[in-house]
Structure 1
Amino acid sequence: MHNPHRFAGKVAIVTGAARGIGAATAQRFAEEGAGVLLVDIIPEVMETAAAIGGTGFVVDITARDAGLRIEEAAQAAFGRIDILVNNAGIGGSKSLKDTDDTLMDRIIDTNLNAMLRVTRAIAPHLPRPGGRIINVSSIFGLIGYPGTTAYAVAKAGVAQFTRQLAVELTPEGILVNAVAPGVVETPMTAERLRDPYYIKLQVKPTPIGRVGTPSEQAAVIAFLASEDAAFVSGVVIPVDGGYTATRYTPNDE
């Protein structure tokens, strides 16, 4: 059940918000009363923002000045920033032997380095106390999985960044947490979800027996941004249907 007043008067920035988890998260914040700046490199973010009554902002998250530009856009639109959701990321990773320097740099810069730079620019503008930072890691940052080396390393970095930032900012009143999504049905996973081997490795061993939805990730992100999570900081929550907590083999016979 959504609370239309839970984030009344608050402003949230959501990166990677044109589609998938980011779009669902932005919608959840808007439905619960927040002003939302939706950030993405894809121009479609303007349509996504218009549909939920938010403000869209097109920027390449890896640009060195992206954080400053995002902060200025949020201040211009809303006059304040309370919540930062670092969701922007890309897939396309391969095993290390098949990963050239160009791919390695692109994946790690987009999924990790850009997050550090954007957070560094936004964090000084969050309220103390009351600010919230929620990062999107991945179960691939928590466990080993074949063929995802650079992506997995970047997402493991996101998890450690979350813990490190909690040490630095929680004493000032800013809570920092992360979610680690399991398999979620998004445009980024659409091709893999057509691969029987991926289904065998990822979906079937999930005790809940299905892939997740973006709105299920958004619900946990919204919890971490709310006052209900006032005593939670420095944690990475797997939102994965039980995948990382179990060793489950379905009986297909």
Structure 2
Amino acid sequence: MLEPTNLNGRTAIVTGAGQGIGAAIAEALLAAGAHVLAVDREAAGIAALAARPDVTPVQGDVTDPAVTETLSAALDKAGRRLDILVNNAGIARGAHALDTSDEDFTRYFDVNVLGLFRLSRWAVGRMMRTGGGAIVNTASIFGMIGAQNSCGYSASKAAVIGLTRQMANDFGPNGIRVNAVAPGLIETPLTAERIQTEAWRRHQMIDGAPLRRVGKPEDVARAVRFLASDESSFITGQVLAVDGGWAVGRYPREEAIHVPA
């Protein structure tokens, strides 16, 4: 018998929860009954979430090695076990290799890969002691196929995909599932202006996708909720593209197929 997604009694950590995709993920998990530790560098970003009784706000930076101590203290104070980790915090900028410095490249990996790895390593340590859990990483469709002017970003997201598969392999016997979502073009406060002003981006990423629309944070959030829940209990080591079909629709039809008369 199929039942609606139920995360009642479970505790989830969501990084980068202050806006955009992270905020939508937090809302989706809350709607399913989870208690959420909403993590963001800026306290103001999670102020609205912090007012809710089923949210524990945590101001923290994933590049800070001490963030795991902060999260452990928050979990212990609340008397909660860790069931779900959503590694969503990240940075995204565009440049090709000739315009990407060593410092720029290192920054992508510090935030998008090392920060994610550090939290995942800490999380599996806790989950192993309590019988398992689920980790969902935010990768990118660019980490799967690459894109123009995204050298450091695409490389770092490819590393996230590799780490997702490796940790799924290592910790599956401990009852820990590790999966990733790979968003395409998603309209957030960081991308809205570019979507409106850059005609080439709309042409490539929207007109060039079979579903012919920009993604919404809620599209990604629903995919994350699925991968974090028991509905995906036999799924691990997978990367779920949430891109409107863009990665496989590089030669899309100009118009819909007409229904035969």
* TM-score bracket, shorter-length normalisation: over 0.9
Q: Which amino acid aligns with 2:249?
A: T
Q: CA deviation at 1:71?
A: 2.7
> Secondary structure of 2:227's partner?
helix
Runs of 4+ in 1 over 6 A off after TM superposition: none
> Secondary structure of 1:126's partner?
helix
Unpaired stretches in structure 2, ≥5 consecutive residues: 256-261
How many positions carry a matched residue from both structures?
Answer: 250
Greater Rg over alpha carbons, structure: 2
Is 1:159 equivalent to 2:161 in the alignment? yes
Other-structure match for 1:69: 70
Other-structure match for 2:229: 226
Identity within the alignment, %? 39
TM-score by length of 1: 0.93
* 1:125-136 pair list within 5 angstroms: 125-126=126-127, 129-136=131-138
Kept in 1: contact 2:13–2:85 (CA 8 A): yes
Q: CA deviation at 1:52?
A: 4.6
d(CA) in 2 for partners of 1:73, 1:213: 31
Q: Could you say if the C-alpha distance between residues 123 and 72 of structure 1 is closer, same or farther in structure 2, counting changes exceeding 3 Å? A: farther
Quick one: which of 164, 175, 178 aligns to 1:176? Answer: 178
Q: Which amino acid aligns with 2:185?
A: V
Is 1:46 equivalent to 2:49 in the alignment? no
TM-score by length of 2: 0.90
Kept in 1: contact 2:17–2:46 (CA 8 A): no
Q: Which amino acid aligns with 2:153?
A: Y
* 1:5-154 pair list within 5 angstroms: 6-50=6-50, 52-53=52-53, 54-126=55-127, 129-154=131-156
d(CA) in 2 for partners of 1:218, 1:52: 19
Kept in 1: contact 2:29–2:36 (CA 8 A): yes
Cα RMSD between the aligned structures?
Answer: 1.8
Is 1:208 equivalent to 2:238 in the alignment? no
Q: CA deviation at 1:51?
A: 5.1
Kept in 2: contact 1:138–1:155 (CA 8 A): yes
d(CA) in 2 for partners of 1:196, 1:9: 46
Unpaired stretches in structure 1, ≥5 consecutive residues: none
